[in-house]
Amino acid sequence: MLERLIEQAILASRWLLVPLYLGLALMLLVLIWQFYADFFHVIGTLGTADDSAIILETLALIDLVLVAGLITMVVISSYENFVSKIDVKEGSDTPPLFGKLDPGTLKIKLGASMVAISSIQLLKAFVSVGKYSSTELGWLIGIHMTLVVSTLLMAFIDKLAFSKGKGEKAEKEKAAA
């Protein structure tokens, strides 16, 4: 009796994640605001800004879009993995990976997104290389390479640990279709 009550409480605790996911979803509004503030700033400087300034601002916009995609991916897949399945109508306009991201795949996609964001930061530094010291550039490169290596290691470990299970699952799905 007590054990069952404890298990039900633990299972129900997953719903405590929902306010966190809602907070991340609301963060998208902040990113939209920032995107358009930056966008209109760039538009306002057309004709007076040099090419490198426009490139840097464009890279900042790309950064915001990547972060927004990252938030969306985390919210949807984490909700589905840890809280509840999202019911969608068949044939609805949902992304291809909707409902198919397990925590391991999500970690790899997050890592890849962070590498892309880091690449943009590194490119921004290289475009305005005169503003950075050799030490600062070294740190940016070191951080970027750390993200690259850790993402590759996560993918490798995921492949080693789960490739057999995922392969069997894919074969079962093919056979059922």
Report pLDDT digits (tens) over 26-72: 999 999 999 999 999 888 887 787 777 788 888 889 889 988 988 98
Instruction: Look at the pTM and tell me if it is higher than 0.85.
Output: no
| DSSP structure string for 27-65 | HHHHHHHHHHHHHHHHHHHTTTS-HHHHHHHHHHHHHHH
Report the SS3 class of residue 92.
coil
Listed by start position, the domains of the chain span 15-84+95-162
Asked if 57 contacts 41 with a C-beta cutoff of 8 angstroms, the reply is: yes
Residue 164 carries which side chain, given as an amino acid letter? K
